Amino acid sequence: MEKIDITEQLKYIDKVKEINKDKNLKYYILTMGCQLNENDSEKLCGMLEEMSYKKTDELKDADLVIFNTCCVRENAEEKLFGKLGEVKKLREEKGTIIAIGGCMMQEDHIVEKIRRSYQYDVIFGTHTIHKFPQDLYNAVMENKKIADIVDIDGEIIEGLPIKRNDNIKASVTIMNGCNNFCTYCIVPYVRGRERSRNAKDILEEVQNLANKGYKEITLLGQNVNSYMVEENRKAKKEGIIQEKNEINSFAKLLRAVSQIDGIEKIRFVSPHPKDFTDDVIDAIADCDKVSKLVHLPLQSGSSNVLKRMNRKYTKEQYLELVDKMRKRIPNVKFSTDIIVGFPEETEEDFEDTLDVVRKVNFEQIFMFIYSRRVGTPADKIENQIPEEIKHKRFERLKKLYEDGIQKNNEKYINTVQRILVEGYSKNNENMLTGRTDSNKVVVFEGKADLIGTSINVKIVSEHMWYLKGERV
C-alpha cells in the first residue's frame, strides 16, 4: 500500500512549535479502548511534544486536552460525554483547547451530538490522526472549529513522532482495519478494511526499539494473523510474482522479528481463530522469543451464536484448533475474549460457552456483557437479552473463571519462571514486578538495578491476581 507523505505535517509541527515558544503549555490525554488506541495516543503525544507541549496528568492544568475515543462498548460514549461536560468550565476559564479523536469520531451520530451539544476545537478520525498538527494550527490561527473526518479506509502512515509510555515494553502496529464484519462489532466501519504495513518498516521500528534498550514487543492489529493477506490477494490478481524470501505472511514476520538481537519477548494481539494457519502455529512453536500464551478470542462457545456473530468457525473447530496447538506447541496456554448475552443467546448456548471454558482452562478471560452498537447487524436483532439475564450469566462465567484461576495459579508454585522485570509494583512500592511467559504478574523483593533485566524467579505462593516469587 502507498504510504502517506507526512512532510507537510512536519512543517505544521514546526509552525505550532513557533507559536508555543516560551509559553510552557501543557497537554492532557485520555485514552479509551484497546492497545491500538494506546499506540495512536503515543503518536499524538510524540507530535504534541515536538510542538513544545509538556504532558500533565492533571486535567485542570492542561492548555490542551485530547480524548482518544473507543466505540466498542456503549459506556465509552457515556464516559466521553461526561468528560466533555467536565472540561467545559476549564475551556471557559482558561481557553483550554479541546480535541476529540479516535474510533467514536467515525460515527456520524456521535459527531453530530458533539457538534450540537458540546464545546470542542478539533475533531479528527482514525484516518486523519497524522493531520492533527495541521488541524490544531488551523483551529488556533483561525479561531474556528475543525472537523477532519474521512470515510475512506485510510492509508499507511510512517514516520510520525512517537512518545512511548514505557522504556522496556513497546507496541508495534503491523496492520490496521478489519475485513471480518462480526455482527456485533463496529470496528470495520470506523477503522476501515485491512491494510498491512510493509515488513521493512515494521522491522526497522523493532530494530530501533531494540537499539534503545526495549526488551519486549507486542505486535498489534485487529486481526494480526491475516497480515498481508489482502496485499497478497491483490498481487496475485495483478499477476505480480513475489520473491521467495519476501516477508508476506504473519508467520514469516514472527520469525523475522525473532531474529532481532536485544528483543527477548514477542507477544501479539489479536488473532482470529479462522485464520490460525499451520505456519503460524509452527512459528510460535519454533521461535523461543514468541510467547507461548496465545490469545484466541472465543466470543461464544455456542456454534449457533457464533454463526449469528459471523465468526466463521464452530465450537468444535475452535476446540480442534486448541488441541492442535497443544500437540504442536510445548507448554502452550490460552487467553480469550467472551461476550455474554448476545441477542437470542439461550441458556443452552450459554452452557456451551461454560463447557468450552472448562475444557480449555484459559489462563485469562476478558469478559464483556454484550453492548448494542448503532450501525451493526446485531443491533437490529429483535430478541435482545434482558439486562438482568445478561448480568446473571456474566456472574456465573466470572465465578467459573475465578475458580479456574486459583487452580491454575497453584500449578506455578515451586516452579522457576523467567521474567522481564518491569518496575516497582503499583500496590507495593517495596516490591518489584514482572510477568511470566503466560502473562501472570509476579511480585518479588529486589533492587532497582534489576529493572529492565530478565531473571529467574521461584514462585513461592499464589494469590488471585498475582504470584509471589523469590529470585534464584
Judge whether 377 and 385 are in contact, CB under 8 Å: no
Q: Which pLDDT band, with edges at 50, 70 and 90, does 1 fall under?
A: very low
CATH topology of domain 164-410: pyruvate-formate lyase- activating enzyme (3.80.30)
Report pLDDT digits (tens) over 2-19.
567 788 999 999 999 999
What b-and-e string marks burial along 321-348, b requiring 16 or more CB atoms within 10 Å of the CB?
Answer: bbeebeeebeebbbbbbbbbbbbebeee
Domain boundaries, the chain: 3-148, 164-410, 416-471
Inter-residue contact 98 to 112 (CB < 8 Å): no
Instruction: Say whether pLDDT at 75 is over 80.
Output: no
Q: Is beta strand 122-124 parallel, antiparallel or unpaired with respect to 97-102?
A: parallel
Taking CA atoms, 7 is separated from 43, 80, 171, 195, 280, in Å, by 16, 32, 24, 22, 37
| Contact between 313 and 275 (Cβ < 8 Å) | no
Instruction: Tell which wins on pLDDT, 75 or 309.
Output: 309
Which is it for the CA torsion 176, 182, 187, 191, positive or negative? positive
Name which of 312, 374, 377, 298 is nearest 344 in CA terms.
377
pLDDT tens-digit readout, 175-208: 998 999 999 998 888 888 899 999 999 999 999 9
Nine-digit cell at 420?
A: 522481564
Question: For residue 329, which amino acid is it?
Answer: I
| 143 phi and psi angles, rounded to 5 deg | 55, 50
* Distance (Å) of CA 309 to CA 184, 300, 344, 376, 381: 7, 9, 11, 11, 11
pLDDT of residue 375: 86
In the predicted structure, residue 128 carries a pLDDT above the cut 70: yes
Helix (H) or strand (E) holding 173: strand 169-173
pLDDT one-digit tens code per residue, 352-374: 999 999 999 999 999 999 998 88
Closest CA to 267 of 292, 299, 297, 296: 292
pLDDT in tens, 25-57: 999 999 987 888 899 999 999 999 999 999 999
pLDDT of residue 3: 62
Count other C-beta atoms under 10 Å from residue 110's C-beta.
Answer: 21
The SS3 of residue 127 is coil
The C-alpha cell that represents 109 in the structure block: 451520530
Looking at residue 294, what is its pLDDT?
Answer: 97
At 282-341, the pLDDT tens digits run 999 999 999 999 999 999 999 999 999 999 999 999 999 999 999 999 899 999 999 999
Instruction: Give the whole-angstrom CA distance, residue 285 versus residue 106.
Output: 39
Strand, helix or coil for residue 455:
strand
In 3D space, the residue among 299, 298, 297, 291 whose CA is nearest the CA of residue 268 turns out to be: 291
The packing angle between helices 108-117 and 74-94, to 10°, is: 30
Classify 416-471 by CATH class: mainly beta
Q: What is the pLDDT of residue 198?
A: 94
Tens digit of each residue's pLDDT (9 = 90 or more) over 83-127: 999 999 889 888 999 999 998 998 888 999 999 999 999 999 888
Q: What is the DSSP letter of 192?
A: -
Q: Within 10 A of 355 (CB to CB), how many other CB atoms are there?
A: 14
CA 295 distance to own-chain centroid: 12
| pLDDT recorded at residue 44 | 96
The superfamily (CATH) of domain 3-148 is Methylthiotransferase, N-terminal domain (3.40.50.12160)
- For 258-283, write each residue's pLDDT tens digit: 999 999 999 999 999 999 999 999 99
**pTM of the prediction?**
0.92
Residue 462 amino acid letter: E
Average pLDDT, the chain: 93
Q: What is the mean pLDDT of residues 380-406?
A: 95
